[in-house]
Structure 1
Amino acid sequence: MPAVVEPKLISGNANLPLAKAIARRMSLYRGMSVGLVDARIERFNDQEIFVEVYENVRGEDMFILQSTSNPANDNLMELLIMADALRRSSAARITAVIPYFGYARQDRRTKARTPITAKLVSNMITSAGIERVLTLDLHAAQIQGFFDIPVDNLYASPIFGLDILQQFDNPAEELMVVSPDVGGVARARELAKRIGAPLSIVDKRRERAGEVAEMTVIGDVSGKKCVIVDDICDTAGTLCKAAEVLMEHGATEVHAYISHGVMSGPAVERVSKSVMKSLVLTDSIQPTDAIKAAPNIRVLPTAPLFAQAILNIWNGTSVSSLFETDTLGPIYEGILGQQSD
């Protein structure tokens, strides 16, 4: 088997701009050109997916870049078929880089006769020949345990912390970090600790799925600029209502930092018309034209984070070092607040 010289990247169609940005960042870090492996991913008339890799990948350390976002099933199948193509082409190791891990919200049985689809997806990924997974802000940390292969779960909170320190003059005094539900307290606490701000919680109660019956603010937010932190914004209904409740309780401004901007249905319109001063997303899911055009939505790049994580995996060095501000700060110097990398 030939020696592995450089990591090789291959991308599906889920988020090509992010894949290209990761390749550019890796080229910058390596001081040499790193491109995407030449391949074609197309569909037959009946929508079956076909993959053909045009370059030799025998003995190579391969990284598949593919979010499993909308359309989730198509993007997941692309990932699995690419992995099978690489495995049958004798790649030495296959790592799936999944910036947004779809089906993560189905991580447990909430009622009788329902599936645990996140576990099913993890089994499919492992069976396809993938030997390692790199992802960002899993909806539930225990999903890492669904896999029998190593899973590196990166966090967006260090990036959010750096951006907040640039956007606000005195975060410790003027900001209040808010978790939009009890389940997200750990995520919000992590960001609050990074910027030295206090923590509040919005307790929501649902009568049925997708409908919030009541919201209660736990903590004093009067006179504070509130920063809502969450991992997923889907239709933005809960987020916009939480912003209204915070303003009713005396908040001066409401901002939101969300790891994955699913932004389905009326989400962009709701955010544009809401009391929120700003919504900050990452580009783990490719932003639509509507998101880019929205006046109160910003997109932070994840390419610097993923590029360094891929190189650390390839080199056999620590990925968890990227959780620290001192390590991540130089990687993001001068690029936060921009719409693209």
Structure 2
Amino acid sequence: MSHDDHRRLKIFAATGGEHLAVEMCKHLELPLGAAEVSKFPDGEIIVKIDEDIRGRDCFIVQSTSKPANDNLMELLIWIDTLRRASAGRITAVIPYFGYARQDRKDEGRVPITAKLAANIITAAGANRVLCMDLHAAQIQGFFDIPVDHLTATKVFCDHFAQDNEMNGDNMVIVSPDVGNVKVANMYAGLLDSTLAIIDKRRDSGSEVVSKRLIGSVEGKNVLMVDDMISTAGTICEAANLLMGEGAKQIIAGATHPVLVGL
């Protein structure tokens, strides 16, 4: 990064992105952008930027996780505030992109809310979006602005590569469902391990009626990888199946621990 780029860069922390924004600033040796977020007595959010950002390259960090609606609305207000303060470019850093599971019409008379969220983020004034391990990769195409879709795969693989019991022939990478096979296969390649898949057959699009393991885990350490763990229902069901198939040890790795109810 050139001196001019460093000088023009500003990173701001929204309510759902404070920790990450602070760490980003430490890494880049930048001060955190000066701003205030407050609420009116009726709960309406107001954002005030306390420094000149005219022409600056601004990043606003905000996950739209729980409370999803409040965090999404705050993100929109941040973007609008930055735009009206004449920011040169606005990048929305959204590590966890809420509403990503509503990415298609899987039955009649339902919305595609992931597309709606993309539309309103763009309409608010964002010039670019940066996110991590989207639940559905095709959401990148919902935006009419550039999207940088990052993955935590290398971070996980670097961690497990240090443990001889969790790589190579000692380990099997398991995809807890068919939809995550591409990601699981990437892990298997990086860790030089074999791949297994849990195939789930559903009745009427909801109730799981049967599960079967494609591959072998007998006597092996297992790493199950997924983009998120929400209720943990899928992961727990998969773990029970793998234990029955003779797995030695089971570890679950997910980028986004939503963990509903905790």
TM-score (ref. length: structure 1): 0.73
Q: After superposition, what is the alpha-carbon deviation per residue over 1:6-63, rounded to whole angstroms, capped at 9, x for unaligned?
A: 3100111013122211211121xxxxxx121111111112111111111111010000
1:159 aligns with 2:161: no
The alpha carbon displacement at 1:108 in A equals: 0.5
Q: Residues of 2 paired with 1:160 and 1:110: CA distance? A: 32
Q: 1:19 aligns to what?
A: 21
Match of 1:36 among 32, 35, 41: 32
The one-letter code of the counterpart of 1:252 is K
Say whether the 8 Å CA contact 1:4–1:59 is kept in structure 2: no
Q: 1:324 aligns to what?
A: none
1:49 aligns with 2:45: yes
Say whether the 8 Å CA contact 1:212–1:238 is kept in structure 2: no
Q: Residues of 1 paired with 2:26 and 2:83: CA distance? A: 26
The one-letter code of the counterpart of 1:22 is M
CA pair 207-15 structure 1, distance change in 2 beyond 3 A: farther
CA pair 210-50 structure 1, distance change in 2 beyond 3 A: farther
Say whether the 8 Å CA contact 2:165–2:171 is kept in structure 1: no
The alpha carbon displacement at 1:211 in A equals: 5.3
Residues matched between the structures, number: 259
Say whether the 8 Å CA contact 2:171–2:222 is kept in structure 1: yes
1:122 aligns with 2:108: no
Q: 1:271 aligns to what?
A: none
Q: 1:275 aligns to what?
A: none
Q: Residues of 2 paired with 1:12 and 1:47: CA distance? A: 16
The one-letter code of the counterpart of 1:15 is G
1:80 aligns with 2:76: yes
Runs of 4+ in 1 over 6 A off after TM superposition: none
Q: 2:245 aligns to what?
A: 249
Structure 1 spans left out of the alignment, 5+ residues: 28-33, 267-341
Q: Residues of 2 paired with 1:166 and 1:157: CA distance? A: 15
Say whether the 8 Å CA contact 2:165–2:221 is kept in structure 1: no
Say whether the 8 Å CA contact 1:136–1:153 is kept in structure 2: yes
Q: Residues of 2 paired with 1:190 and 1:219: CA distance? A: 16
Q: Residues of 1 paired with 2:195 and 2:249: CA distance? A: 15
The one-letter code of the counterpart of 2:10 is K
Q: 1:231 aligns to what?
A: 227
The alpha carbon displacement at 1:203 in A equals: 1.4
- Equivalent residue runs for 1:84-95 within 5 Å: 84-95=80-91
RMSD: 1.7
Higher strand residue share: 2
Aligned sequence identity (%): 49
Say whether the 8 Å CA contact 1:4–1:60 is kept in structure 2: no
Higher relative contact order (CA 8 A, sep 6+): 1
Match of 1:173 among 138, 146, 169: 169
1:132 aligns with 2:128: yes
Query: Aligned with 1:82: secondary structure?
Result: helix
Structure 2 spans left out of the alignment, 5+ residues: none
CA pair 23-204 structure 1, distance change in 2 beyond 3 A: same
Say whether the 8 Å CA contact 1:3–1:59 is kept in structure 2: no
1:219 aligns with 2:221: no
Q: Residues of 2 paired with 1:157 and 1:216: CA distance? A: 26
Q: 1:311 aligns to what?
A: none
Q: Residues of 1 paired with 2:169 and 2:232: CA distance? A: 28
Query: Aligned with 2:16: secondary structure?
Result: coil
